[in-house]
Amino acid sequence: MKRLTIIFLVALATATTLEAQRKMRTADVTSDTLMVHDPVMAYSHDTYHVFSTGRGIQHATSKDMKTWTLHVEPTMSVIPKWAHDSVQGFRDHVWAPDIIRYRDRWWLAYSCSTFGKNTSAIGLLSTRDLTPGCIWDDEGPLVCSREGRDNWNAIDANFVIDDNDQPWLVFGSFWDGIQMVPLDSTMHIADKGKQKTIARRFPGKKENPVEAPFIFKHGSYYYLFVSWDYCCKGMDSTYKVVVGRSRKVDGPYFDRDGKDMAQGGGTLVIEGDKKEFEAAGHNSAYTVNGTDIFLCHGYSVVLDGASILIKKEMIWSEDGWPKLIKN
């Protein structure tokens, strides 16, 4: 009985903190349970920065990746006019950022869209400083998709720099799956850059629930993580993360059984255990002080489907496949 009381009190305290994160904030909120969707991370000046989906892009910081401060001021204080012009119905709820350090600047991609449609745009910001409230330069759109014109969706961007210092953009959600295209030194699509599909869930079918690509280099392989199935439904979510690998950054990517990810291949990395998390997905991965770290969001069972940050150590099998360590 005492143990149940303690669990209840911890859950109540956590729920109270999460409620403070949900509400329109007038001050920063500090918690060891960070409410996020689509988390990505950067490290600068002894501080970890997590950017995630939210009004103007949510920004949280930590010194130890345990206790997080969610900042009241969003990353984007102003949504550029081109974004509203490009995506009818989009306001200020910005989806699925990604961030990378390249040639002495931080580059942040973000998604402008409305749920269930592929009239979308991926925008670009840049800065030299990640201090909360810093000024980001609007670098305009990276890529736009149009309903009725394109069989792909311009959201869920990820940057990767290959071994030749060539930047690439990976993106996509549903429709014809995950797309990849080379970028130039300004982090915009390269002149005559050819876009191609590198991952699908159900090739040739109308419903193709694959999204949220993230490429991570380990050893001589590039690893493509993607999320399968459905997010954003609380306790009805079915999200999971799968992976494939390639010696070439632009693929093809094959799963552990040798199946091409463009033809529906993918080796499971994480899914809901139905005890702690109903579902988990939209991941990112980093090497921090020699340790590989896997981040994603998970729909908490205890918190009735609230989406919170999952952080796990990632190790590698003898034949070079990722495995997550239980906390």
Catalytic site includes residue 207: no
Active-site residue (options: 98, 156, 176, 211)? 211
Distance from CA of residue 154 to its chain's centroid? 14
* Sequence-separated (6 or more) residues with CB below 8 Å from residue 66: 32
CA-to-CA separations, 173 to 72, 148, 167, 275, 308, in angstroms, rounded: 29, 16, 21, 28, 21
Give the number of other CB atoms < 10 A from CB of residue 258.
Answer: 8
CA angle 312/223/200 to nearest 5° reads: 105
| Residue pair 293/312 in contact by the 8 Å Cβ criterion | yes
Q: Name, in order, each residue with C-beta under 8 angstroms of 254's C-beta and a sequence gap of 6 or more.
A: 244, 245, 246, 260, 261, 265
Cβ atoms 8, 1 nearer than 8 A: no
Q: Which of 38, 139, 278, 292 is catalytic?
A: 38
Nearest to 295 by CA among 74, 76, 52, 61: 52
Number of other residues whose CB lies within 10 A of the CB of residue 275? 8
Number of Cβ atoms within 10 Å of the Cβ of 320: 13
Distance, in Å, from the CA atom of 38 to the CA atom of 50, rounded to the nearest integer, reads: 10
Reference 264, options 204, 312, 305, 181; nearest CA is 204
Query: And the tokens for 228?
Result: 């399968």
Residue 211 is a catalytic residue? yes
Which positions are catalytic? 38, 211
